[in-house]
Structure formats: structure tokens, C-alpha cells
Amino acid sequence: MRSIVSFNTGWVFEDGIAVTLPHTALELPFSYFDERDYQREFTYKKTFTADPAWGDDEVAIVFEGAMADARVSLNGVEIAAHRDGYTPFEARLTGRLRAGENVLTVVIDGSENPEIPPFGGRIDYLTYAGIYRDVWLKRTAPISIAGVKIETPDALAASKTVTARATLANPQGRAFAGQLTASLRDAAGTVLATAAQPAAAEVSFRFDGLTDIALWDIDRPNLYTLTLSLGDSDVLDTVFGFRTAEFTPEGFFLNGRHLKLRGLNRHQSFPYSGYALGRAAQERDAEILKHELHVNIVRTSHYPQSTWFLDHCDRIGLLVFEEIPGWQHIGGEGWKAESVENVRRMITRDWNHPSIIIWGVRINESRDDHDFYVETNRLAHELDKTRQTGGVRYITDSEMLEDVYTMNDFILGNEELGGNRPRTALRPITETTGLEKPVPYMITEFGGHMYPTKSSDQEQRQAEHVRRHLDVLNSAYGNPGISGAIGWCAFDYNTHKDFGSGDRICHHGVMDMFREPKFAAFAYASQCEPDEEIILQPVTFWARGERNIGGVLPLMILTNCDEVEVRYGDNVVKRLGPDREAYPHLPHAPVVFERSHFSDEELGLWGMEWHDATITGFIDGKPVKVVNYVADPVAKTLEVVADAVAIGSTDAVRVMVRALDQAGHKLPFYPEPVTIEVSGAGKRLGPATVPLRAGSTGFWVQATGAGQIDVTVNSDRMGTRTLAITAS
């Protein structure tokens, strides 16, 4: 019988440090570090006892991800190697175990080996060394179910079909016997259909005439399970959904319904821990994208990401563009062969996720390379006929070997180069494709390095950051030929010296590295419908002297309300609707109060008193949300909140620390440090003393077992806060 148990605990790292996986080989400072420090070999060892009861079972260690070049030895003999930091691999122990104690050694080389994608050139992100995803001990019968590809060929028909192609693993070369049974279950566990076939290396099933099936959609992500049983020796559950997804020259269609894609790119990195945060943090990122940023698609730039993340995208209805590892550089023949294998590994790992709607089969932003990309596309189509391919480029007139022309359009901002360049949000499709005929087309990046913006930047710069994201979204919404636009990017990320602000950070996110929103986050969030969330976010810190010349105008309010009222002091009340002139195509244009809406007396000038304000959003004439500002903010409250106070005994949970004024707003320029102590059944990831940046900081608490975790945050000025987290 299949048994998959965590193999994350009891590892010894380097010279005897006890560690638990996921693990980053080198905990990094927040910024200004040397990224070469982790680009070397690291060794992990685990001693374990082989159980005689395993008999002739197949036993393997499954690594979900180790960066970048991993070699696994058992009792000094190499048994597995994997040169791809983003996909799983197995080390087979069967027949190699000795009675009693065994030692598993994993040497991972974190150097940027130019023979392994994405390395060989320069890349704008870091690939932190470590066994940074989960590791499992997997035990199965000698013949077991290796995997399955499930398809729903006519998902929109009243009577639906499921096909499943299962493969059996038989490494001991035994004779197949008995039957493989497949049964379909809905979310409540009700069996909808069952079929059986003689066991063989490959077994196909087809279920027809399925009625009363609920589609998987972004609002109702209905999931089904296919259970495969091999006699009574193995069972494998695989989750899938019924949906269609199609990019056309007229836009994107989900289940035959037109849907404009609005998304952000995600790097899977975190401060201090690099890539090494497990299930809870992965799922949390999906939640943030779906429910805080209210986007409907994420691009896993630039590599396959954690299956915890993808599973959660399936559960919550967040669409995914997944792509192979790489960044601009294409290596030699061996490198390309490895990249083709990356396509295979990505697709065979992830082909059952309903959330994934397109495979990225080009090296992000690389030049054309006919033979190479003919092959990546051929393989993608051979492995998966149900999804279209894309290939992300920034060059124009690039050879269209994929199904969708996926374009990083960084034209906005080029006006700063001079030479009478006009301010343009997006280029015409025919100009970038060089093709006269319409093709399926999607914007996969914009923003980013064209306008890096820190959460502590001046309000005016942040307002322009917002405007640029809105301009591109507006333009994408206005062009029916554009399937959607995916901005660069969701979260700030650590990077190489050749990129970023010199601090080893690309401040390109609409959120900072702790996932704390900048104003631009609300450019996305405000596009959702009010029944999802009412958004009312003024783009201001509300101060007389933060902007040039003084005041807060023009004051943009990112909102999905019909009207917004600003009450300034006791007498000045102004009410306005969305700015449809500047943003005719957005689902929800911002409300913009200009200088022309106020007289000098109403507004007050430099030297005059600054007042409190109340900003109210109205829907159908009724007030639905209020934001208050005080004219005299002081450091009032030290807020300490965890994403969850009950967590799993191996989870890591984020804790945010914020300095707030009397009205509950963050103090954007409050720099004073806090000290963080974590005791009990958990430990702190990151340093003990940190400054607040733009009024906040964050850290993760890693559970080290079951029990209570006590968190204490102290600020000399604002006092001490404590928090209890229960790990079980």
C-alpha cells in the first residue's frame, strides 16, 4: 500500500547543524548582501533506519525541489542526480538499503552552472541554494501507479467525457496482474462512475455521458477527483476540473465566456529565507493574489513553482501561466536539450491543474531560435494537446511558433528617453508581431524596471506608479485583441547586482517583499466588483508638505464605488464620480480630485492650517466605506498581527508589524527599529532587530513542533506587544 510520509525532519546541515526542510542554505540579510555567498556546495545528511517490514516494496525519497544541481548518495554511493532546481526528482532506495542505519547525503551546488538553465547569462532574480521544498519518503508495492493524465475533451457539452491515461511503474519488471480501477468522484465524495481495465504499463479509461457536472471557473472552482486503485496494492487520487480555456484573436475565453485577463507576475522568493518557505506561505501568496490584489491570473515567472501554490490556485480559482526556467540567455546544445527536458518535466508534473491555462515554452525574453523553439512547442503539444503554448518575448517581429503571441511591452516610460517619443501605454499588436493577420495576443509584462517604486518613495512618485499600471490596464481592457495584461510584478524581490537599486532588490512589486501593499496594489484590487470587496484607497499619506509645492492634489482615489466624497476640515465637501475620460475602458476608473475642483481658500496654501479629512465611497447613493485622515499623525499604535494564530507543526506563518497613527494609517516615514523574540515551539526567520520600512516590517515564524509559540515585539517608543501562536 502506498505510504507517503514527510522526510523533512532530522537533517544535519554542513558541520552538524540540525535542520528541518524546506531549508535555505544561507539565510540572507534583507538587502545589500553578496549573492555569490550561496553559490557553492552545501551538504545535507540524514540518518534513518530501514524497516525490515519494507520487504521488497519500492522505497524512494522524493525531492520536490532542490537548487540547483543535486547529487544524492546512500551510504556513500551516488544514487540520483538532478540538474533542475524547479522540478521534483526521486532517489530510489530499493535494493540499496542495508539493515539498520542508513545515511542519505545530498550535496547541492548552488553555483550558477552555465550548463543548467536558467544560468549562463545574467538573470534578474536569485536562485537561492538549498533543499527548499518538501522531501517525502515514498513506499509502494513493486508495481504501483506512476501517474495519470486526465482530460475533459468536451467540457461544455451537456453530457461530458473524461479520459484518463494512467501509467504503472514496474521497476522490478514483474508480470502485470489484476486490474486497475478508476472511479470519478465529486467534491462531496459521491462516486459518479467507475471502470476497470487489466493492469499494464499504460492503461486508458474513458467515461462518457457524465451529466450534472459543475464546471471549474474562477468564481466557482469546482473540483473532481479521479481515484485509481491497483487491486488492493495501490491507490492514487488526482484532482482535476472540467473547463475550457482558449486564447483567440478576439481575446481569451474561459468555458466559452469572454474573460479579460488581469494579472501579475510572481517570483517565489521571500526575504531572508529565499525560496525556502513551505505550504502555508505558498498558499498565502495565492490568496493574496486572488483576494487582496483581485487578479484573475498569475504568471509563474520564470520557472515552475511549488505544487502547494498551484494546488491552491486550483482550489480558489486563480488562473496560471506557467513557464520553463530561463531569462534572456540561450546556451549551447546541451543546455537546450536540458531546457527541452524542462518542458517535459513541467508539463508532466502539472498537466492536471485546471488553473493552468497556458505553457510558456520559450526562455523568457530570449531571441528567436527556430529549431530550439520548434522542439519546445512540438514537445508541449505532444504531451498536452489541451493547452496552448506561449513564448514570452520583448523583441518585435519574432517568429510565431507558439499558439499565443505573449509580449512584454515596456513601451510606457520610453518617452523619458527623449526624441519626441509620445507617452504610449501599449504598442499596436501588428507593430509588435509584425504580422498582418490577427493572432491570439497577451501582454505578459509591463511596468517593472521602467518605473521602480519603493513603498517608502514620495507620494507623488507612487501616484505616478499607480497611473502607469492603470494606463496599461486601461489600454488592454480597451483592445479586444488583447487577451489580458500581466504586470511586472506582484512582490519586490532580491536580485543580482546588475539589477535593482544597488541594494539587491528590484522594487518592482505592487507589494513589498513582505507582501505589504504599495498604492499600485489597489490599481488592480479596485478593478474587482464591490460584491467581492469594496475598495476605497486614496493615493495619499495626507500631509501638507509631502508633495512638491504642497497639498495632496491631484488626489486619485482607487475605488470600485460609484462616487466619492471628500470632506476637508469642517466646511469643504466635494463629490465626484470616476474619471471615465482618462480611463474609459477600466471596469472601475479611479476618482480624481484636481486642483480645479477647489478654490485656494478651500484648499489652503503653504502656511495655512492643515485639516483632518473624511473620504466616503458611495454605491447607488448610499455610503459604503469611509476612510478618515488626521491632520496631526503621531505614533500611536504598534500593531502586531499574524496571518494565522493556529498553524501546522511544520508551518511558517507571517507576522506583520506596523506603526499606526490615531486613524489607523501606517506612518510611512517611521523608521525606528523593533526587536523580535520568538520562543516556545517555534523560531524566528530573519534578524532580531529590524527597522520599520514605510511604517512596517514582517517576519516569518517557523514552527519547530507542536505547542505554543510566543512572539514578543518591542519598540522603545511604542511599547511591547505579544502574540501567541498555536502549532499543532
DSSP codes of every residue in 554-599: SEEEEESSSEEEEEETTTEEEEE---TTT-SSSSSPPEEE-GGGS-
Residue 484 and residue 449: Cα distance in Å, rounded?
Answer: 20
The conformation of residue 242, written as its DSSP 8-state character, comes to -
Nearest CA to 238 out of 352, 384, 356, 354 is that of: 352
Three cell numbers written together for 653 = 506563518
In the complex with ligand GAL, the residue whose CB is nearer, 323 or 375, is 323
Q: Which is nearer to ligand GAL, 488 or 700 (CB)?
A: 488
Which CB atom, from 22 or from 447, has the smaller least distance to ligand GAL? 447
Shortest distance in whole angstroms from residue 301 CB to ligand GAL: 6
- Please report whether residue 445 would count as binding ligand GAL according to CB under 6 A: yes
Neighbours of 644 (CB within 10 A): 13
Rounded distance, CA 32 to CA 547, Å? 29
Rounded to an integer, what distance in angstroms lies between the CA atom of residue 689 and that of residue 157?
59
Among 185, 449, 575, 597, binds ligand GAL (CB under 6 A): 449
CB of 12 to ligand GAL, least distance (A): 36
State yes or no: residue 500 binds ligand GAL (CB under 6 A): no
Residues 180-239 that bind ligand GAL (CB under 6 A): none
Of 50-58, 100-108, 442-450, 530-538, which part binds ligand GAL (CB under 6 A)?
Answer: 442-450
Nearer to ligand GAL, 126 or 169 (CB): 126
Asked if 404 and 247 count as a contact pair (C-beta separation under 8 A), the reply is yes
Of 715, 670, 496, 705, give the one whose Cα is nearest residue 8: 705
Q: Smaller CB distance to ligand GAL: residue 234 or 285? A: 285
Residue 262: strand, helix, or coil: strand
Over the window 155 to 184, marking each residue x when it contacts ligand GAL by CB under 6 A and - when it does not, the resulting string is: ------------------------------
Task: Kindly give the residue spans of alpha helices, DSSP state H, lying in 78-172.
Answer: none
Please list every residue from 282 through 301 that binds ligand GAL, using CB under 6 A: 301
| Cell reading at 384 | 498536452
Name the active-site residue from 365, 375, 402, 516. 365
How many residues of this chain bind ligand GAL (CB under 6 A)? 10
Asked about 365 being catalytic, the answer comes back as yes
Considering the complex, state which of residue 488 and residue 568 has its C-beta at the smaller distance from ligand GAL: 488
Cβ 646 to ligand GAL, closest distance in Å?
A: 37
How many C-beta atoms surround the C-beta of residue 691 within 10 A? 11
> Rounded to the nearest whole angstrom, what is the least distance from the CB of residue 410 to ligand GAL in the complex?
7
Compute the least distance from the CB of residue 404 to ligand GAL, in Å. 17
Q: Which of 221, 390, 448, 590 binds ligand GAL (CB under 6 A)?
A: 448
Instruction: Compute the distance between CA of residue 46 and CA of residue 49 in angstroms, rounded to an integer.
Output: 10
Q: CB 445 → ligand GAL: shortest distance, Å?
A: 5
Q: Which of 322, 323, 445, 516 is catalytic?
A: 445
- Residues in Cβ contact with 183 at an 8 Å cutoff, skipping those fewer than 6 apart: 191, 192, 193, 194, 195, 226, 227, 229
What is the distance between the alpha carbons of residues 268 and 259, in angstroms, rounded to a whole number? 26
Can you state the percent helix, strand and coil of the chain, rounding each to 5? Answer: 15, 40, 45
Considering the complex, state which of residue 300 and residue 537 has its C-beta at the smaller distance from ligand GAL. Answer: 300
Q: What is the C-alpha to C-alpha distance for residues 74 and 82, in angstroms, rounded to an integer?
A: 15
Of the pair 488, 610, the CB lying nearest ligand GAL is at 488
Closest of 461, 585, 449 to residue 507, by C-alpha: 449
Among residues 328 and 712, whose Cβ is nearest to ligand GAL? 328
Cβ 452 to ligand GAL shortest distance, Å:
8
Shortest CB 524 distance to ligand GAL, Å: 17
Contact present, 185 and 171 (Cβ < 8 Å): no
Q: How far apart are the C-alpha atoms of 577 and 617, rounded to whole Å?
A: 10
CB-nearer residue toward ligand GAL: 252 or 488: 488
Single out the segment in contact with ligand GAL by CB under 6 A; choices: 177-185, 371-379, 445-453, 584-592.
445-453
What is d(CA 204, CA 226) in angstroms, rounded to the nearest whole number? 13
Could you give the string, one character per residue 530-549, with x where binding to ligand GAL holds by CB under 6 A and - elsewhere? --------------------
Q: Judged by CB under 6 A, does residue 321 bind ligand GAL? A: no
* CA–CA gap between residue 472 and residue 448 (Å, rounded): 12
Q: Which of 523, 623, 509 is nearest to 262 (CA)?
A: 523
Q: Is 672 a catalytic residue?
A: no
Q: Which residues are CB-contacts of 725 (< 8 A; sequence separation ≥ 6)?
A: 642, 644, 645, 646, 647, 653, 682, 701, 703, 708, 709, 711
Of the residues 124, 285, 375, 579, which one makes contact with ligand GAL according to CB under 6 A: 124
| Least distance between ligand GAL and beta carbon 408 (Å) | 6
Smaller CB distance to ligand GAL: residue 328 or 458?
328
Min. distance of Cβ 114 from ligand GAL in angstroms? Answer: 19
Minimal distance, residue 360 CB to ligand GAL, in Å: 11
Find the part of the chain contacting ligand GAL (CB under 6 A) among 289-297, 441-449, 541-549, 565-573: 441-449
> How many whole angstroms separate alpha carbon 367 and alpha carbon 330?
8
The three grid cell numbers given for residue 349, joined into one nine-digit string: 508534473
The Cα 8–Cα 131 span in angstroms is 10
66: three-class secondary structure by DSSP: coil
**Cβ-contact 24, 274 below 8 angstroms:** yes
Residue of 262, 504, 508, 684 interacting with ligand GAL (CB under 6 A): 508
Stretch that binds ligand GAL, among 184-192, 444-452, 473-481, 553-561 (CB under 6 A): 444-452
Binding span for ligand GAL by CB under 6 A among 51-59, 443-451, 539-547, 658-666: 443-451
Q: Does 364 help bind ligand GAL (rule: CB under 6 A)?
A: yes
Q: Please report, as residue ranges, which positions from 478 to 497 form the binding site for ligand GAL (by CB under 6 A).
A: 488
Query: Which residue's beta carbon is nearest to the bound ligand GAL?
Result: 448
Minimum distance, C-beta of residue 141 to ligand GAL, in the bound complex (Å): 44
Between residues 126 and 182, which has the closer beta carbon with respect to ligand GAL?
126
408 binds ligand GAL (CB under 6 A): yes
Residue numbers at the binding site for ligand GAL (CB under 6 A): 124, 301, 364-365, 408, 445, 448-449, 488, 508
Query: Which positions are annotated as active-site residues?
Result: 365, 445
